[in-house]
Structure 1
Amino acid sequence: MNLDPGYGETPITPDEASALTPLARRIFGDQPNKAELFEAEQAIADEVSIALQSQIADGKLALEDLLDDAFLRELHAKLYGDLWTWAGVYRRRESSIGIDPANIAAEMRAGFGNIKYRWEHAKDWSARELGIAIHAETVRIHGFVDGNGRATRLLADLVFLAAQDSDSVYESYNWEVDKRSYIVLLRQYDVNRDPKPLAAFISTIAM
Protein backbone atom coordinates (compact mmCIF):
# COMPACT_ATOMS: atom_id res chain seq x y z
CA MET A 1 0.00 0.00 0.00
CA ASN A 2 1.31 3.41 -0.92
CA LEU A 3 0.50 6.08 1.62
CA ASP A 4 -0.39 9.50 0.24
CA PRO A 5 1.68 12.51 1.34
CA GLY A 6 0.57 13.52 4.82
CA TYR A 7 -1.25 10.24 5.41
CA GLY A 8 0.99 9.41 8.34
CA GLU A 9 -0.03 12.59 10.13
CA THR A 10 -3.76 12.10 9.53
CA PRO A 11 -5.49 11.21 12.81
CA ILE A 12 -8.26 8.64 12.85
CA THR A 13 -11.83 9.90 13.00
CA PRO A 14 -13.76 10.10 16.31
CA ASP A 15 -15.87 7.16 15.12
CA GLU A 16 -12.74 5.09 14.53
CA ALA A 17 -11.21 6.19 17.84
CA SER A 18 -14.27 4.97 19.72
CA ALA A 19 -13.61 1.45 18.38
CA LEU A 20 -10.02 1.22 19.68
CA THR A 21 -9.39 -1.45 22.31
CA PRO A 22 -8.02 -0.47 25.74
CA LEU A 23 -4.71 -2.08 24.73
CA ALA A 24 -4.49 0.05 21.59
CA ARG A 25 -5.25 3.18 23.60
CA ARG A 26 -2.46 2.38 26.07
CA ILE A 27 0.02 1.88 23.23
CA PHE A 28 -1.01 4.61 20.78
CA GLY A 29 -3.07 7.06 22.84
CA ASP A 30 -6.63 8.16 22.16
CA GLN A 31 -5.90 9.74 18.76
CA PRO A 32 -3.27 7.70 16.88
CA ASN A 33 -2.61 8.50 13.26
CA LYS A 34 -3.60 6.20 10.44
CA ALA A 35 -0.07 5.18 9.50
CA GLU A 36 0.72 4.00 13.04
CA LEU A 37 -2.29 1.73 13.05
CA PHE A 38 -1.66 0.48 9.52
CA GLU A 39 1.89 -0.49 10.44
CA ALA A 40 0.68 -2.26 13.58
CA GLU A 41 -1.98 -4.13 11.60
CA GLN A 42 0.58 -5.19 9.00
CA ALA A 43 3.01 -6.45 11.64
CA ILE A 44 0.28 -8.50 13.29
CA ALA A 45 -0.87 -9.85 9.92
CA ASP A 46 2.68 -10.99 9.09
CA GLU A 47 2.94 -12.84 12.42
CA VAL A 48 -0.49 -14.45 12.05
CA SER A 49 0.22 -15.51 8.47
CA ILE A 50 3.53 -17.15 9.35
CA ALA A 51 2.06 -18.96 12.36
CA LEU A 52 -0.92 -20.33 10.41
CA GLN A 53 1.18 -21.38 7.42
CA SER A 54 3.43 -23.29 9.83
CA GLN A 55 0.40 -25.04 11.33
CA ILE A 56 -0.71 -26.09 7.85
CA ALA A 57 2.77 -27.35 6.98
CA ASP A 58 2.93 -29.32 10.24
CA GLY A 59 -0.48 -30.88 9.66
CA LYS A 60 -2.02 -29.15 12.67
CA LEU A 61 -4.43 -27.11 10.54
CA ALA A 62 -6.31 -28.94 7.79
CA LEU A 63 -8.21 -27.70 4.77
CA GLU A 64 -11.44 -28.83 6.42
CA ASP A 65 -10.74 -26.46 9.32
CA LEU A 66 -10.26 -23.53 6.94
CA LEU A 67 -13.45 -24.15 4.95
CA ASP A 68 -15.63 -23.06 7.85
CA ASP A 69 -17.15 -19.64 8.49
CA ALA A 70 -16.13 -19.89 12.15
CA PHE A 71 -12.49 -19.97 11.05
CA LEU A 72 -12.94 -16.68 9.17
CA ARG A 73 -14.30 -15.00 12.31
CA GLU A 74 -11.38 -16.40 14.33
CA LEU A 75 -8.92 -15.24 11.68
CA HIS A 76 -10.37 -11.72 11.66
CA ALA A 77 -10.15 -11.64 15.46
CA LYS A 78 -6.49 -12.72 15.34
CA LEU A 79 -5.70 -9.99 12.82
CA TYR A 80 -7.49 -7.11 14.54
CA GLY A 81 -8.40 -8.14 18.10
CA ASP A 82 -5.49 -6.29 19.75
CA LEU A 83 -6.50 -3.02 18.12
CA TRP A 84 -10.22 -2.89 17.34
CA THR A 85 -13.36 -3.84 19.27
CA TRP A 86 -15.13 -4.91 16.03
CA ALA A 87 -12.60 -7.68 15.38
CA GLY A 88 -14.18 -11.04 14.62
CA VAL A 89 -17.72 -9.65 14.84
CA TYR A 90 -20.03 -9.50 11.83
CA ARG A 91 -21.13 -5.97 11.04
CA ARG A 92 -24.57 -4.85 12.16
CA ARG A 93 -24.85 -1.76 9.98
CA GLU A 94 -25.63 -1.31 6.31
CA SER A 95 -22.63 -0.76 4.05
CA SER A 96 -22.24 0.61 0.53
CA ILE A 97 -20.87 -2.82 -0.41
CA GLY A 98 -21.80 -6.28 0.75
CA ILE A 99 -25.12 -7.79 1.73
CA ASP A 100 -27.75 -6.86 4.32
CA PRO A 101 -26.17 -7.36 7.76
CA ALA A 102 -29.18 -9.40 8.87
CA ASN A 103 -28.21 -12.06 6.32
CA ILE A 104 -24.44 -12.17 6.84
CA ALA A 105 -24.23 -15.13 9.22
CA ALA A 106 -26.55 -17.32 7.15
CA GLU A 107 -24.89 -16.36 3.85
CA MET A 108 -21.42 -17.09 5.26
CA ARG A 109 -22.46 -20.54 6.46
CA ALA A 110 -24.15 -21.33 3.16
CA GLY A 111 -21.27 -19.97 1.07
CA PHE A 112 -18.61 -21.94 2.91
CA GLY A 113 -20.79 -25.04 2.90
CA ASN A 114 -21.46 -24.87 -0.83
CA ILE A 115 -17.79 -24.32 -1.68
CA LYS A 116 -16.66 -27.14 0.61
CA TYR A 117 -19.26 -29.52 -0.88
CA ARG A 118 -18.23 -28.66 -4.44
CA TRP A 119 -14.54 -29.15 -3.67
CA GLU A 120 -15.20 -32.55 -2.14
CA HIS A 121 -17.64 -33.83 -4.75
CA ALA A 122 -17.41 -32.02 -8.10
CA LYS A 123 -13.62 -32.19 -8.58
CA ASP A 124 -13.71 -29.43 -11.23
CA TRP A 125 -11.69 -26.79 -9.34
CA SER A 126 -7.95 -26.63 -8.85
CA ALA A 127 -6.45 -25.63 -5.52
CA ARG A 128 -5.82 -22.20 -7.03
CA GLU A 129 -9.50 -21.85 -7.96
CA LEU A 130 -10.69 -23.06 -4.57
CA GLY A 131 -8.79 -20.33 -2.74
CA ILE A 132 -10.13 -17.69 -5.09
CA ALA A 133 -13.69 -19.01 -4.69
CA ILE A 134 -13.43 -18.56 -0.92
CA HIS A 135 -11.96 -15.08 -1.39
CA ALA A 136 -14.60 -13.93 -3.87
CA GLU A 137 -17.47 -15.32 -1.80
CA THR A 138 -16.34 -13.63 1.41
CA VAL A 139 -15.68 -10.37 -0.45
CA ARG A 140 -19.20 -10.56 -1.90
CA ILE A 141 -20.72 -10.83 1.56
CA HIS A 142 -18.37 -8.23 3.14
CA GLY A 143 -18.99 -9.49 6.64
CA PHE A 144 -17.02 -7.10 8.81
CA VAL A 145 -16.96 -3.38 9.59
CA ASP A 146 -13.39 -3.16 8.30
CA GLY A 147 -10.46 -5.39 7.47
CA ASN A 148 -12.37 -7.52 4.99
CA GLY A 149 -9.73 -7.29 2.28
CA ARG A 150 -6.76 -8.38 4.36
CA ALA A 151 -8.70 -11.15 6.11
CA THR A 152 -10.18 -12.61 2.94
CA ARG A 153 -6.88 -12.47 1.04
CA LEU A 154 -5.09 -14.26 3.87
CA LEU A 155 -7.87 -16.83 4.06
CA ALA A 156 -7.48 -17.46 0.33
CA ASP A 157 -3.73 -17.85 0.76
CA LEU A 158 -4.20 -20.40 3.54
CA VAL A 159 -6.85 -22.38 1.65
CA PHE A 160 -4.65 -22.43 -1.46
CA LEU A 161 -1.70 -23.66 0.56
CA ALA A 162 -3.68 -26.38 2.35
CA ALA A 163 -5.28 -27.63 -0.88
CA GLN A 164 -2.04 -28.00 -2.87
CA ASP A 165 -0.40 -31.32 -3.61
CA SER A 166 2.39 -31.78 -1.09
CA ASP A 167 4.63 -33.27 -3.80
CA SER A 168 4.65 -30.05 -5.84
CA VAL A 169 6.34 -26.68 -5.30
CA TYR A 170 4.04 -24.62 -3.11
CA GLU A 171 2.62 -21.44 -4.60
CA SER A 172 0.89 -18.38 -3.20
CA TYR A 173 -1.21 -15.67 -4.82
CA ASN A 174 0.26 -12.43 -6.11
CA TRP A 175 -2.23 -9.81 -4.95
CA GLU A 176 -0.52 -6.96 -6.80
CA VAL A 177 -3.19 -6.67 -9.48
CA ASP A 178 -4.93 -4.06 -11.60
CA LYS A 179 -7.71 -2.96 -9.25
CA ARG A 180 -10.22 -2.04 -11.96
CA SER A 181 -9.97 -5.42 -13.68
CA TYR A 182 -10.05 -7.18 -10.32
CA ILE A 183 -13.31 -5.47 -9.34
CA VAL A 184 -14.89 -6.31 -12.69
CA LEU A 185 -14.05 -9.99 -12.19
CA LEU A 186 -15.35 -9.95 -8.61
CA ARG A 187 -18.65 -8.60 -9.93
CA GLN A 188 -18.75 -11.37 -12.52
CA TYR A 189 -18.32 -13.88 -9.71
CA ASP A 190 -21.26 -12.30 -7.89
CA VAL A 191 -23.43 -13.13 -10.90
CA ASN A 192 -22.26 -16.63 -11.86
CA ARG A 193 -20.28 -17.91 -8.82
CA ASP A 194 -17.52 -19.06 -11.18
CA PRO A 195 -14.04 -18.39 -9.71
CA LYS A 196 -12.12 -19.53 -12.78
CA PRO A 197 -11.78 -16.14 -14.58
CA LEU A 198 -10.63 -14.41 -11.40
CA ALA A 199 -8.24 -17.26 -10.59
CA ALA A 200 -6.74 -17.02 -14.07
CA PHE A 201 -6.32 -13.25 -13.60
CA ILE A 202 -4.56 -13.43 -10.22
CA SER A 203 -1.10 -14.82 -10.83
CA THR A 204 0.82 -17.05 -8.43
CA ILE A 205 4.40 -17.10 -7.19
CA ALA A 206 6.52 -19.88 -5.73
CA MET A 207 6.76 -19.77 -1.96
Structure 2
Amino acid sequence: MIDLFDADDGQTELSPEERKGLKPAYITYRSELNREEQENILKAERWLFARRLAAPDIVDQAFICQVHKRMYGDVWDWAGKYHRSDRNIGVDYYRIHPEMRVFIDNVRYWLEHRTYPADELAVRFHHRLVWIHPFPNGNGRLSRLLADRLVVSLGEPRFTWGRTNLLSASDVRARYVDGLRKADGHDLAALLAFARS
Protein backbone atom coordinates (compact mmCIF):
# COMPACT_ATOMS: atom_id res chain seq x y z
CA MET A 1 0.00 0.00 0.00
CA ILE A 2 1.35 3.43 -0.94
CA ASP A 3 1.38 6.06 1.78
CA LEU A 4 -0.94 8.94 1.01
CA PHE A 5 1.91 11.45 0.90
CA ASP A 6 4.63 9.39 -0.75
CA ALA A 7 5.56 11.37 -3.81
CA ASP A 8 4.93 9.49 -7.05
CA ASP A 9 7.80 9.35 -9.50
CA GLY A 10 8.37 12.90 -10.67
CA GLN A 11 6.18 14.62 -8.09
CA THR A 12 7.50 17.19 -5.69
CA GLU A 13 7.43 16.09 -2.08
CA LEU A 14 5.11 18.20 0.07
CA SER A 15 6.25 19.81 3.30
CA PRO A 16 4.46 18.81 6.53
CA GLU A 17 2.63 22.16 6.48
CA GLU A 18 1.51 21.65 2.86
CA ARG A 19 0.27 18.15 3.71
CA LYS A 20 -2.09 19.73 6.22
CA GLY A 21 -3.63 21.64 3.32
CA LEU A 22 -5.52 18.58 2.07
CA LYS A 23 -9.18 19.60 1.98
CA PRO A 24 -11.23 16.38 1.63
CA ALA A 25 -11.02 14.66 5.02
CA TYR A 26 -12.22 11.34 3.59
CA ILE A 27 -9.04 10.83 1.51
CA THR A 28 -6.83 8.18 3.11
CA TYR A 29 -5.19 6.45 0.12
CA ARG A 30 -2.98 7.73 -2.67
CA SER A 31 -5.41 6.35 -5.27
CA GLU A 32 -8.21 8.49 -3.77
CA LEU A 33 -5.99 11.58 -3.82
CA ASN A 34 -4.99 10.92 -7.44
CA ARG A 35 -8.64 10.48 -8.44
CA GLU A 36 -9.73 13.72 -6.71
CA GLU A 37 -6.88 15.67 -8.27
CA GLN A 38 -7.63 14.26 -11.72
CA GLU A 39 -11.32 15.21 -11.48
CA ASN A 40 -10.34 18.73 -10.41
CA ILE A 41 -7.81 18.98 -13.27
CA LEU A 42 -10.40 17.88 -15.84
CA LYS A 43 -12.84 20.56 -14.63
CA ALA A 44 -10.09 23.16 -14.93
CA GLU A 45 -9.18 21.93 -18.42
CA ARG A 46 -12.78 22.24 -19.62
CA TRP A 47 -12.97 25.74 -18.13
CA LEU A 48 -9.67 26.78 -19.73
CA PHE A 49 -10.50 25.55 -23.23
CA ALA A 50 -14.04 26.95 -23.15
CA ARG A 51 -12.66 30.49 -22.78
CA ARG A 52 -11.72 32.71 -25.68
CA LEU A 53 -8.15 33.67 -24.90
CA ALA A 54 -5.43 35.40 -26.84
CA ALA A 55 -1.86 34.33 -26.13
CA PRO A 56 -1.08 37.40 -23.96
CA ASP A 57 -4.05 36.55 -21.71
CA ILE A 58 -2.37 33.25 -20.81
CA VAL A 59 1.04 34.80 -20.20
CA ASP A 60 0.08 36.50 -16.94
CA GLN A 61 1.12 35.67 -13.36
CA ALA A 62 -2.34 36.13 -11.92
CA PHE A 63 -3.87 33.97 -14.65
CA ILE A 64 -1.29 31.21 -14.11
CA CYS A 65 -2.13 31.22 -10.39
CA GLN A 66 -5.84 31.17 -11.20
CA VAL A 67 -5.45 28.12 -13.44
CA HIS A 68 -3.41 26.30 -10.78
CA LYS A 69 -6.14 27.09 -8.24
CA ARG A 70 -8.80 25.75 -10.60
CA MET A 71 -6.73 22.59 -11.13
CA TYR A 72 -6.17 21.86 -7.44
CA GLY A 73 -8.45 24.16 -5.43
CA ASP A 74 -11.01 21.47 -4.55
CA VAL A 75 -8.22 19.32 -3.10
CA TRP A 76 -5.54 21.60 -1.62
CA ASP A 77 -5.86 24.88 0.27
CA TRP A 78 -2.49 26.07 -1.13
CA ALA A 79 -3.68 25.78 -4.73
CA GLY A 80 -2.78 28.88 -6.74
CA LYS A 81 -0.19 30.04 -4.17
CA TYR A 82 3.56 29.89 -4.62
CA HIS A 83 5.43 27.57 -2.27
CA ARG A 84 7.26 29.11 0.68
CA SER A 85 10.09 26.68 1.33
CA ASP A 86 13.07 25.49 -0.67
CA ARG A 87 12.83 22.34 -2.78
CA ASN A 88 15.25 20.01 -4.45
CA ILE A 89 13.89 21.30 -7.75
CA GLY A 90 13.15 24.77 -9.07
CA VAL A 91 14.39 28.12 -7.87
CA ASP A 92 14.73 29.08 -4.21
CA TYR A 93 11.35 30.16 -2.90
CA TYR A 94 12.40 33.79 -2.38
CA ARG A 95 13.31 34.00 -6.10
CA ILE A 96 9.94 32.80 -7.42
CA HIS A 97 8.34 36.25 -7.79
CA PRO A 98 11.28 37.88 -9.62
CA GLU A 99 11.84 34.79 -11.81
CA MET A 100 8.16 34.75 -12.73
CA ARG A 101 8.30 38.43 -13.70
CA VAL A 102 11.32 37.84 -15.95
CA PHE A 103 9.67 34.72 -17.42
CA ILE A 104 6.43 36.58 -18.20
CA ASP A 105 8.30 39.53 -19.73
CA ASN A 106 10.39 37.20 -21.90
CA VAL A 107 7.39 35.25 -23.21
CA ARG A 108 5.48 38.45 -23.95
CA TYR A 109 8.50 39.73 -25.88
CA TRP A 110 8.64 36.45 -27.85
CA LEU A 111 4.95 36.81 -28.67
CA GLU A 112 5.19 40.45 -29.68
CA HIS A 113 8.26 39.95 -31.86
CA ARG A 114 7.37 36.47 -33.14
CA THR A 115 10.75 35.27 -31.95
CA TYR A 116 9.90 31.56 -32.25
CA PRO A 117 7.42 29.40 -34.16
CA ALA A 118 4.29 28.57 -32.13
CA ASP A 119 5.39 25.08 -31.03
CA GLU A 120 8.80 26.25 -29.89
CA LEU A 121 7.40 29.26 -28.07
CA ALA A 122 4.87 27.12 -26.17
CA VAL A 123 7.48 24.47 -25.31
CA ARG A 124 9.88 27.17 -24.10
CA PHE A 125 7.02 28.57 -21.98
CA HIS A 126 6.39 25.09 -20.56
CA HIS A 127 10.05 24.41 -19.83
CA ARG A 128 10.69 27.72 -18.09
CA LEU A 129 7.60 27.42 -15.89
CA VAL A 130 8.64 23.88 -14.87
CA TRP A 131 12.18 25.12 -14.24
CA ILE A 132 10.93 27.85 -11.87
CA HIS A 133 8.61 25.31 -10.19
CA PRO A 134 6.58 27.94 -8.31
CA PHE A 135 3.85 25.80 -6.73
CA PRO A 136 4.07 23.10 -4.05
CA ASN A 137 2.97 20.47 -6.58
CA GLY A 138 1.37 20.13 -10.00
CA ASN A 139 3.91 22.28 -11.84
CA GLY A 140 4.40 19.86 -14.73
CA ARG A 141 0.69 19.26 -15.24
CA LEU A 142 -0.02 22.99 -15.02
CA SER A 143 2.78 23.84 -17.44
CA ARG A 144 1.68 21.25 -20.00
CA LEU A 145 -1.95 22.40 -19.81
CA LEU A 146 -0.99 26.07 -20.20
CA ALA A 147 1.42 25.25 -23.05
CA ASP A 148 -1.45 23.41 -24.76
CA ARG A 149 -3.72 26.42 -24.37
CA LEU A 150 -0.98 28.78 -25.52
CA VAL A 151 -0.18 26.80 -28.67
CA VAL A 152 -3.91 26.58 -29.49
CA SER A 153 -4.22 30.35 -29.09
CA LEU A 154 -1.37 30.62 -31.63
CA GLY A 155 -3.36 28.58 -34.16
CA GLU A 156 -1.78 25.16 -33.70
CA PRO A 157 -3.28 21.91 -32.34
CA ARG A 158 -2.76 20.79 -28.76
CA PHE A 159 0.37 18.87 -27.92
CA THR A 160 0.16 15.13 -27.36
CA TRP A 161 2.99 14.90 -24.78
CA GLY A 162 3.94 11.33 -25.68
CA ARG A 163 0.40 9.94 -25.79
CA THR A 164 0.67 8.79 -29.40
CA ASN A 165 3.55 6.42 -28.58
CA LEU A 166 2.88 2.82 -27.66
CA LEU A 167 5.15 3.09 -24.62
CA SER A 168 4.59 2.33 -20.97
CA ALA A 169 3.81 5.25 -18.69
CA SER A 170 7.27 4.96 -17.15
CA ASP A 171 8.93 5.08 -20.60
CA VAL A 172 6.86 8.14 -21.54
CA ARG A 173 7.83 9.77 -18.24
CA ALA A 174 11.52 8.97 -18.84
CA ARG A 175 11.41 10.58 -22.32
CA TYR A 176 9.70 13.65 -20.86
CA VAL A 177 12.25 14.06 -18.06
CA ASP A 178 15.10 13.50 -20.53
CA GLY A 179 13.64 16.26 -22.74
CA LEU A 180 13.40 18.62 -19.76
CA ARG A 181 17.01 17.92 -18.74
CA LYS A 182 18.27 18.54 -22.27
CA ALA A 183 16.26 21.77 -22.38
CA ASP A 184 17.96 22.80 -19.11
CA GLY A 185 21.16 22.65 -21.19
CA HIS A 186 19.56 24.79 -23.93
CA ASP A 187 18.84 21.86 -26.28
CA LEU A 188 15.10 21.98 -26.92
CA ALA A 189 14.96 19.38 -29.72
CA ALA A 190 14.02 16.37 -27.55
CA LEU A 191 11.33 18.26 -25.63
CA LEU A 192 9.88 19.69 -28.85
CA ALA A 193 9.78 16.21 -30.41
CA PHE A 194 8.23 14.75 -27.26
CA ALA A 195 5.51 17.42 -27.15
CA ARG A 196 4.31 16.30 -30.59
CA SER A 197 4.88 12.55 -30.10
Q: TM-score, normalised by structure 1?
A: 0.78
* Paired position in structure 1 for 2:177: 183
Paired with 1:186 and 1:139, the residues of 2 have a C-alpha distance of: 9
The answer to whether the Cα contact below 8 Å between 1:93 and 1:101 also exists between their aligned partners in 2 is yes
Offset of 1:17 from its aligned partner? Answer: 4.5
Secondary structure (helix, strand or coil) at the match of 1:48 reads helix
* Paired position in structure 2 for 1:43: 39
Paired with 1:182 and 1:141, the residues of 2 have a C-alpha distance of: 17
In the TM superposition, what whole-angstrom CA distance separates every residue of 1:99-151 from its partner, at most 9, and x where no partner exists? 11110011011112101102211x24222222111110000011111111111
* Paired position in structure 1 for 2:159: 173
Paired with 1:202 and 1:11, the residues of 2 have a C-alpha distance of: 30
**Relative to 1, partners in 2 of residues 1:104 and 1:50: Cα closer, same or farther, differing over 3 Å?**
same
Offset of 1:38 from its aligned partner? Answer: 0.8
Offset of 1:35 from its aligned partner? Answer: 0.9
The answer to whether the Cα contact below 8 Å between 1:12 and 1:32 also exists between their aligned partners in 2 is no
Q: Are 1:52 and 2:52 counterparts?
A: no
- The code of the aligned residue for 2:177 comes to I
Secondary structure (helix, strand or coil) at the match of 2:77 reads coil
- The code of the aligned residue for 2:72 comes to Y
In the TM superposition, what whole-angstrom CA distance separates every residue of 1:145-178 from its partner, at most 9, and x where no partner exists? 11111111111111111111xxxxx511112373
Structure exhibiting the larger radius of gyration computed from Cα positions: 1
In the TM superposition, what whole-angstrom CA distance separates every residue of 1:39-71 from its partner, at most 9, and x where no partner exists? 111112112111211113xxxx22111011221
Paired with 1:154 and 1:75, the residues of 2 have a C-alpha distance of: 9
* Paired position in structure 1 for 2:60: 68
- The code of the aligned residue for 2:31 comes to A
The answer to whether the Cα contact below 8 Å between 1:129 and 1:196 also exists between their aligned partners in 2 is no
The answer to whether the Cα contact below 8 Å between 1:68 and 1:113 also exists between their aligned partners in 2 is no
The answer to whether the Cα contact below 8 Å between 2:110 and 2:121 also exists between their aligned partners in 1 is no
State, as a whole percentage, how many aligned pairs show the same letter: 33
The runs of 5 or more residues in structure 2 that have no matched partner are 7-14, 164-171
| Structure 1 runs of 4+ with >4 Å offset | 194-197
- The code of the aligned residue for 2:158 comes to S
- The code of the aligned residue for 1:105 comes to H
* Paired position in structure 2 for 1:92: 84
* Paired position in structure 1 for 2:29: 33
Paired with 1:66 and 1:85, the residues of 2 have a C-alpha distance of: 23
Q: CA RMSD in A?
A: 2.2
Offset of 1:195 from its aligned partner? Answer: 4.3
The answer to whether the Cα contact below 8 Å between 2:55 and 2:154 also exists between their aligned partners in 1 is yes
- The code of the aligned residue for 1:174 comes to T
Q: TM-score, normalised by structure 2?
A: 0.81
Aligned residue-pair number: 180
* Paired position in structure 1 for 2:150: 159
Q: Any residues of structure 2 matched to 1:6-155 within 5 Å, and which?
A: 6-7=1-2, 10-12=3-5, 15=16, 17-21=19-23, 24-25=24-25, 28=26, 32-56=28-52, 61-121=53-113, 123-155=114-146
* Paired position in structure 2 for 1:167: none
* Paired position in structure 1 for 2:168: none
